């Protein structure tokens, strides 16, 4: 990102109910670990319908820096891992994106020795990596951390047993990736049960891996030496689908989502219905009507899957900020995820944060100049702008573009009034 890009912004004129149809992009959180998994094989992997977003581009650069060839044909991403020749992930990349840590398990399986800077990512809390390191140690990896750099070594990763003291999506993925090509059997307990874990295991199985139990707390992995090439369809992004459903709700609109992973959206759809939103599934499309949505959320907490996802918390909070009555939302997964709530106060929202609980009294919002500080919180500001009277300008959009391929184009196709302005045009 150049200094100029850092100043790019979205301008929104709010107050228009969204109406129309939009197709949901491929899932960021599903494809990143798949890209990492591709280094476990020595041929070429094709990821069909891979979203072209900044986090994926960053992972492409990391893979290129270790010797992979990466290219796109239309919406598909190809990763050729024949010539991977180093286990050193430059600190600059690791710092940019948290998912770089996911490369540890897979790359160790390939190179035996790796060096990686401590990962960056969204500023939504402490985000420790102790569970990632512990699961690798349980599989025979020797680790040292010095001056923010992780050195890991394992001539052969050995199957083993690890029970996560706390559920973590990324650490579960790392454990699975390390075990997929290890010597012998691995049993992982208290695993995360998010759909992205299931998608990763399906992807690995398409490469020849031997895994059972994903989606439950216990996963068994029998290491397989020769994982092979594959071509795999990236599943749709449940958080992007949730973002557009909530954008429809904020504007009291009426939209159709194609390719929405409806089965993975049940917690959100329940709340949407309780708030007065209506929906039906027809011909595989999610058809949502928010014209009568008018009830606040007395109490909701974010939870691990299948509970309400933390990634949609700031977006739901924004919706609540437009609905008369008191709503309460508790964030149980990340300790510092109310940054967007503070920003929408500049737009007239009545939000009080008491520790991990936000208390919201809904009313009319007005346009203002605000700043995205992290990915989903940034998308929440877009929703606030769509629901507000007047003009909203959002800075820090590089955070939003880490995860949304074309949020402006998608919202414009639903009749919303949003444009992306680059610094040169201002
Ligand atoms: C993933 C998602 C992110 C989502 C989150 C929770 C990706 C790329 N990101 O992040 O969008 O918000 O799941 O659904 O898939 N923890 C530790 N030690 C660790 C790792 C995590 O204590 O080593 C804690 C975290 O601080 C947090 C909780 O565990 O409180 C859950 O985090 P985790 O599931 O690991 O989130 P990510 O995999 O980073």
Quote the pTM value: 0.96
* Catalytic entry in 81, 122, 248, 408: 122
**Are 261 and 269 a contacting pair, CB within 8 Å?**
no
* pLDDT-derived band at 367, boundaries 50, 70, 90: very high
What residue segments make up the domains of the chain, in order of their start?
A: 3-24+236-425, 28-233
Domain pair 3-24+236-425 / 28-233, same fold: yes
- Residue closest by Cα to atom 7 of ligand 1: 29
- Measured over the CA atoms of residue 360, residue 415, residue 233 and residue 84, the dihedral's sign is negative
pLDDT at 126 over 80: no
Q: How far is the CA of 256 from the centre of ligand 1 (A)?
A: 30
Ligand 1 mutation pick, 32, 175, 333, max ligand atoms within 8 A of CB: 333
Spell out the residues 6+ positions from residue 413 whose beta carbon is closer than 8 angstroms to its own: 20, 21, 22
Q: In which residue are the tokens 């500049």 written?
A: 346
- Residue having the nearest C-alpha atom to atom 29 of ligand 1: 168
pLDDT for 174 beyond 80: yes
* Residue given tokens 């929408």 in the structure block: 344
What confidence tier does 266 reach under pLDDT thresholds 50, 70, 90?
very high
Distances in Å between the Cα of 105 and the Cα atoms of 101, 174, 190, 335, 388 are 8, 5, 18, 27, 45
User: Confidence class of residue 109 from pLDDT cuts 50, 70 and 90?
Assistant: confident
Query: Mind giving me the DSSP string for 2-71?
Result: -TTGGG-EEEEE--PPPEEEEEPPBPHHHHHHHHHHGGGSSSEEEEET----HHHHHHHHHHHHTT-EEE
Q: What is the rounded average pLDDT for all residues in the chain? A: 93
Which pair of structure tokens corresponds to residue 8?
Answer: 């790019």
For 3-24+236-425, give the CATH class.
alpha beta
Question: What pLDDT was estimated at residue 414?
Answer: 98
Q: What is the mean pLDDT of residues 178-183?
A: 96
Query: Which of 152, 130, 134, 172 lies closest to 304 in space, CA to CA?
Result: 172
Ligand 1 atom with the smallest distance to the CA of 376 is 11
* Mean pLDDT lowest among 35-49, 84-98, 129-143, 262-276: 84-98
Neighbours of 238 (CB within 10 A): 27
What kind and span of H or E run contains 351? Answer: strand 350-354
pLDDT tens sequence across 277-288: 999 999 999 999
pLDDT in tens, 296-349: 999 999 999 999 999 999 999 999 999 999 999 999 999 888 989 999 999 999
Q: Where does ligand 1 bind, in terms of residues with CB under 6 Å?
A: 29, 32, 98-99, 125-132, 166, 168-171, 192, 194, 196, 310-311, 333-334
Q: Report the pLDDT value the prediction gives residue 123, as an integer from 0 to 100.
A: 54
Percent of the chain predicted with pLDDT > 90: 86
Give the β-pairing of 350-354 and 325-330.
unpaired
Centroid of ligand 1 to alpha carbon of 13 (angstroms): 34
**pLDDT given for residue 175 in this prediction:** 97
Q: Which residues pair with 19 in a beta bridge?
A: 254
Banded model confidence at residue 95, pLDDT cuts 50, 70, 90: low
By the 8 A CB rule, do 13 and 391 touch?
Answer: yes
Q: What is the pLDDT of residues 21-70, one digit of tens each?
A: 999 999 999 999 999 999 999 999 999 999 999 999 999 999 999 999 99
Torsion of CA 88, 93, 94, 96, to 10 degrees: 180
- The alpha carbon of 169 and the centre of ligand 1 are apart by a number of angstroms equal to 6
pLDDT for the residue numbered 336: 81
Pairing mode of beta strands 254-258, 230-233: unpaired
CATH number belonging to domain 28-233? 3.65.10.10
Q: Distance between CA 158 and CA 124 in Å, rounded?
A: 34
- End-to-end CA distance of the chain, in Å? 18
Distance, in Å, from the CA atom of 90 to the CA atom of 135, rounded to the nearest integer, reads: 23
Q: What is the pLDDT of residue 94?
A: 67
Cα–Cα distance for residue pair 192/327, rounded to 1 Å: 28
Which ligand 1 atom is nearest residue 127's CA?
26
Best substitution site from 27, 98, 129, 169 to test ligand 1's pocket, by max atoms within 8 Å of Cβ? 169
pLDDT at 89: 87
CA distance 216 to 107: 26
Exposed/middle/buried for 57, CB within 10 Å: 0-12, 13-18, 19+? middle
Q: What is the pLDDT of residue 90?
A: 79
Residue 163: pLDDT band (50, 70, 90) is: very high
Question: Has 122 been annotated as catalytic?
Answer: yes
Question: Residue 288 in 3-state DSSP?
Answer: strand
């Amino acid at each position: 990102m150049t200094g100029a890009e850092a100043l790019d912004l979205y301008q929104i004129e709010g107050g228009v109910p969204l109406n129309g149809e939009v197709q949901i992009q491929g899932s960021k959180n599903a494809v990143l670990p798949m890209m990492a998994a591709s280094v476990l094989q020595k041929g070429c992997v094709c990821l069909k319908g891979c979203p072209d977003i900044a986090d994926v581009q960053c992972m492409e650069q990391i893979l290129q820096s270790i010797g992979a060839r990466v290219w796109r044909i239309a919406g598909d991403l190809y990763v050729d891992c024949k010539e991977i020749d180093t286990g050193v992930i430059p600190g600059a990349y690791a710092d940019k994106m948290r998912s770089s840590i996911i490369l540890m398990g897979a790359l160790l399986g390939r190179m035996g020795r790796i060096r990686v800077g401590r990962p960056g990512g969204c500023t939504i809390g402490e985000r420790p990596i102790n569970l990632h390191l512990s699961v690798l140690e349980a599989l025979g990896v020797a680790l040292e951390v010095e001056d923010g750099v992780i050195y890991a070594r394992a001539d052969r990763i050995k199957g083993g047993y690890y029970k996560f003291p706390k559920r973590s999506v990324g650490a579960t993925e790392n454990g699975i990736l390390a075990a997929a090509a290890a010597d012998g059997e691995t049993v992982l307990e208290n695993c995360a049960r998010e759909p992205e874990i299931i998608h990763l295991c399906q992807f690995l199985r398409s490469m020849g891996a031997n895994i059972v139990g994903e989606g439950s707390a216990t996963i068994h992995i029998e290491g397989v030496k020769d994982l092979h090439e594959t071509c795999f369809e990236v599943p749709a992004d449940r958080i992007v689908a949730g973002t557009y459903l909530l954008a429809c709700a904020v504007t009291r609109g009426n939209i159709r989502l194609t390719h929405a992973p409806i089965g993975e959206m049940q917690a959100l759809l329940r709340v949407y219905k309780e708030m007065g939103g209506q929906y039906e599934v027809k011909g595989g499309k999610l058809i949502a009507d928010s014209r009568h949505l008018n009830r606040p959320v007395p109490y909701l907490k974010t939870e691990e899957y299948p509970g309400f996802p933390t990634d949609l918390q700031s977006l739901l909070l924004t919706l609540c900020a437009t609905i008369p009555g008191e709503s309460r939302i508790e964030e149980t997964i990340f300790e510092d995820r109310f940054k967007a709530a503070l920003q929408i106060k500049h737009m007239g929202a009545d939000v009080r944060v008491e520790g991990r609980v936000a208390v919201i009294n809904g009313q009319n919002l007005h346009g203002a100049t605000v700043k995205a500080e992290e990915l989903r919180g940034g998308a929440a500001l877009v929703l606030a702008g769509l629901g507000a009277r007047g003009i909203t300008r959002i800075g820090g959009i590089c955070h939003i573009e880490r995860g949304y391929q074309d949020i402006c184009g998608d919202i414009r196709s639903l009749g919303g009034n949003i444009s992306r302005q680059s610094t040169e045009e201002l």
